[in-house]
Structure 1
């Protein structure tokens, strides 16, 4: 039996365009690495001293962040001085040849990453289940005019919906969003959508799930993590309305904490306590800086959060717990990353534990360099159910960005394939985590496989 070549139409084999992109990515990567090696050999002493100064600046910066009074002032001054010294040393050591080499390395690296994104992205990105569906007959879109700093009004979504034959329901002061969604279903809606933040998306998605209706996500909130991982263009809010026309429909998972459904994540510990502050929404960075000394400083008390690890052992404490609807690809603990898929039927669990005496600088370094997974107090796994218990009567919990206080034990469960979701035919259709080249150790072999025309398993 002969094996068909790449031109035989095997849909698993990469296209010619992807193979060319893989070749460009690998060649540009070799050029960038060559430039770095050459520059390192010529400037070993400067490079080592610069690294020491940057590490010192990071450690001092973290001490300043979790301290108060004179200790914070001294640490902040040391961080600034070390960083300034590193920059000055780098500038002084530059000559015309070195500057050109740096520019070329950055250019080749950018070309390699861009080409890798093209090469490693599937030729056709479509939901793993479901397919193309016809227009909604009685589509309803609920809108929160206060979400995202007023995106509903800024993009004139009510009028845009009307032009597409979609009935708009605008949430007013004192209105109950769930009651409005239930009323829309009772009036005959066959597709139910939400223009608002992720907390509102979860509530309306739960109503759609209970009645077996398809859901449309319109990214009119602040972060719009669900829209991001559905592969929508978060900057083109109006384009999301096209999901009420001919669209792609598939099934995604939902997650539940007790009887409350969420679409993204629920957090406990440091982050959950910070978002409870009334000042957080108006000044996230200032509020975080003010509260961190009490939460991660030398005298801070760790929350009583008890849970079972994958090996069956019970852990009695953690500084942060993140339970997500699907597994996130995390590089830092501040951004919550992106999910490659929303249909795995698994919860993602991440825990971070910090020893105040030894680990603060290591945590800061890992966070600053996007290597949080290498921090020894970091653990991550997937499961279908996760329970957090505590001796405290109420726990601070952030659920899809909403600040809650819930009584333990907290039981998290996955709801596999629970929600029918529609996305526009013209949407990108892939999350950043799914389209990213990935780590170098896995990206290079994958690029080589695309280059030689290897079929996907």
Structure 2
């Protein structure tokens, strides 16, 4: 499966369809009539032994859900814009063609998946300004401008995530940002900020930005500064940012629904929302010749107690 719109048309720019077909693969492209999920299910019905996907994290997670449900291995071709999952698999995101070699002699392995309600996520679930931006008309055409249009209310403290989230420090009410990742993000050093050095910890990563009385003028700079300031030790009650690892992360409150971004796709979830880790939930095929995952420069986050 390929999403021809992902990454500004990387499928066409790297001639991925012809290259894959030349290696014996049958390629189907998403369209207004057929999304990635329906195409993946059709491929399974027609006997596909491997599901390959070229696109961004949203397209990848849709096919990954079908692959996991049918116990098919997934081959990821990084043809999106950011390619977070492909990067953290150790793939060469600058050369999507190189991943096609896994069709011939791919290395099988297992990695974790995240679940939130009926949705699978390979990267993250976000609540707050990014989730709101995804629902705005024109987001796909101009992501930066759309995000900038919804951010001021969060920056000023007039808007927040309309739910409470359970953390190792207790319940945080109406936070500014909640980010739940499939395996924890590295936040200790600027160079690797946002990387995942493992996809097999069996845990989610949680990051919550509290809603302070006086909102800092630059929310993103404040978030980054708080994360870097407090590493490598655990969060303390006075921190504006709480970061931790856990099997499940739950949001709850009085509202019936909550907007979220699941791997960059807008969804509306009924409250309470529970994010869960599925350890080893996905089989993947990796090319033998790949950059790999760099060594983590500093220890990661402490894990929340099991009885939390």
Fold match (TM-score > 0.5): yes
Provide the aligned length of Structure 1 versus Structure 2.
292
> Which of 185-194 and 372-381 deviates more?
372-381
SS of structure 2 residue aligned to 1:167: coil
| 1: CA distance, partners of 2:86 / 2:38 | 23
1:337 maps to which of 179, 194, 199: 194
| 1: CA distance, partners of 2:161 / 2:189 | 21
| Higher share in helix | 1
Pairing of 1:152-191 with structure 2 (within 5 A): 152-191=11-50
Partner of residue 310, structure 1? 168
Please report how far the alpha carbon of residue 357 of structure 1 lies from its aligned counterpart in structure 2 after TM superposition: 1.8
Partner of residue 390, structure 1? 253
Q: Is the 2:76–2:99 contact (alpha carbons within 8 Å) kept by the matching residues of 1? A: yes
| 2: CA distance, partners of 1:316 / 1:381 | 17
Change (3 A) 1:406 1:366: closer
| 2: CA distance, partners of 1:364 / 1:190 | 46
Does the alignment pair 1:435 with 2:299? no
Partner of residue 197, structure 1? 56
| Higher share in strand | 2
Q: Is the 2:127–2:161 contact (alpha carbons within 8 Å) kept by the matching residues of 1? A: no
Please report how far the alpha carbon of residue 428 of structure 1 lies from its aligned counterpart in structure 2 after TM superposition: 1.2
1:294 maps to which of 146, 153, 161: 153
| 1: CA distance, partners of 2:209 / 2:252 | 17
Pairing of 1:57-456 with structure 2 (within 5 A): 142-297=1-156, 300-311=158-169, 313-330=170-187, 337-357=194-214, 359-360=216-217, 364=221, 367=224, 371=228, 373=230, 376-430=239-293, 434-438=294-298
Q: Is the 1:366–1:372 contact (alpha carbons within 8 Å) kept by the matching residues of 2? A: no
> Which of 162-171 and 271-280 deviates more?
271-280
Measured on the aligned residues, the alpha-carbon RMSD in Å equals 2.5
Please report how far the alpha carbon of residue 301 of structure 1 lies from its aligned counterpart in structure 2 after TM superposition: 3.5
- Which TM-score applies when normalising by structure 2? 0.87
Please report how far the alpha carbon of residue 330 of structure 1 lies from its aligned counterpart in structure 2 after TM superposition: 2.6
Please report how far the alpha carbon of residue 407 of structure 1 lies from its aligned counterpart in structure 2 after TM superposition: 1.9
Q: Is the 2:155–2:218 contact (alpha carbons within 8 Å) kept by the matching residues of 1? A: no
Q: Is the 1:326–1:346 contact (alpha carbons within 8 Å) kept by the matching residues of 2? A: yes
| 1: CA distance, partners of 2:177 / 2:267 | 16
| 1: CA distance, partners of 2:130 / 2:189 | 13
| 1: CA distance, partners of 2:144 / 2:188 | 19
Q: Deviations over 1:178-219 (max 9, x none)?
A: 221112112111111111111111111111111111100011
Please report how far the alpha carbon of residue 159 of structure 1 lies from its aligned counterpart in structure 2 after TM superposition: 0.6
| 2: CA distance, partners of 1:172 / 1:263 | 22
Please report how far the alpha carbon of residue 424 of structure 1 lies from its aligned counterpart in structure 2 after TM superposition: 0.5
Change (3 A) 1:317 1:190: same
| 2: CA distance, partners of 1:196 / 1:255 | 19
Structure 2: stretches of 5+ with no match in the other structure = 232-237, 300-308
Please report how far the alpha carbon of residue 290 of structure 1 lies from its aligned counterpart in structure 2 after TM superposition: 3.0
| 2: CA distance, partners of 1:390 / 1:169 | 42
Q: Deviations over 1:159-178 (max 9, x none)?
A: 10111111111223311322
Q: Is the 1:331–1:337 contact (alpha carbons within 8 Å) kept by the matching residues of 2? A: no
Structure 1: stretches of 5+ with no match in the other structure = 1-141, 440-457
Q: Is the 2:30–2:36 contact (alpha carbons within 8 Å) kept by the matching residues of 1? A: yes
Please report how far the alpha carbon of residue 390 of structure 1 lies from its aligned counterpart in structure 2 after TM superposition: 2.3
Change (3 A) 1:246 1:418: same
Give the greater-gyration-radius structure (CA): 1
